[in-house]
Chains A and B, each alone.
Chain A
Amino acid sequence: DVKVTQSSRYLVKRTGEKVFLECVQDMDHENMFWYRQDPGLGLRLIYFSYDVKMKEKGDIPEGYSVSREKKERFSLILESASTNQTSMYLCASSLLGGAREKLFFGSGTQLSVL
Chain B
Amino acid sequence: AQTVTQSQPEMSVQEAETVTLSCTYDTSESDYYLFWYKQPPSRQMILVIRQEAYKQQNATENRFSVNFQKAAKSFSLKISDSQLGDAAMYFCAYLPRDTGNQFYFGTGTSLTVIP
Interface string of B67-102 (1 = CB under 8 A from A): 000000000000000000000000100010000011
**Are A31 and B101 in contact (CB-based, < 8 A)?**
yes
Chain B residue at minimal CB-CB distance from A44: B105
Known: A42-B106, A42-B108. A100 touches B43 (CB 8 A): no
Bin chain A's interface residue count: 20 to 34
**Are B108 and A107 in contact (CB-based, < 8 A)?**
no
State which residues 17-53 of B face A: CB under 8 Å: 33, 35, 42-45, 47, 50
**Are A42 and B107 in contact (CB-based, < 8 A)?**
yes
How long is the Cα–Cα vector from A31 to B33 in the complex, in angstroms?
Answer: 17
- A58 to chain B: which residues have CB within 8 Å? 102
Q: Is the interface of A mostly helix, strand, loop or mixed?
A: strand
**Are A100 and B101 in contact (CB-based, < 8 A)?**
yes
Q: B44, B47, B50, B103: which contacts A107 (Cβ < 8 A)?
A: B44
Q: Is A77 an interface residue when CB atoms closer than 8 A count as contact? A: no
How long is the Cα–Cα vector from A58 to B108 in the complex, in angstroms?
Answer: 19
Known: A42-B91, A43-B91. A48 touches B108 (CB 8 A): no
**Are A107 and B42 in contact (CB-based, < 8 A)?**
yes
How long is the Cα–Cα vector from A5 to B79 in the complex, in angstroms?
Answer: 30
How long is the Cα–Cα vector from A108 to B4 in the complex, in angstroms?
Answer: 22
> Measuring CB to CB, which residues of chain B are less than 8 angstroms from any residue of chain A?
4, 6, 9, 33, 35, 42-45, 47, 50, 91, 95, 101-103, 105-108
Query: A41-B107, A101-B95, A105-B45 known; 5 other A-B pairs, CB under 8 Å?
Result: A40-B107, A43-B91, A92-B45, A100-B95, A105-B44
> Measuring CB to CB, which residues of chain A are less than 8 angstroms from any residue of chain B?
31, 33, 35, 40-45, 48, 50, 58, 88, 90, 92, 94, 96, 100-103, 105, 107-108
User: Can you list 20 A-B contacts with CB-CB less than 8 angstroms, sorted by A residue number?
Assistant: A31-B101, A33-B103, A40-B9, A40-B107, A42-B105, A42-B106, A43-B91, A43-B105, A44-B105, A45-B102, A45-B103, A48-B102, A88-B43, A94-B101, A101-B35, A101-B95, A103-B47, A105-B44, A105-B45, A107-B44
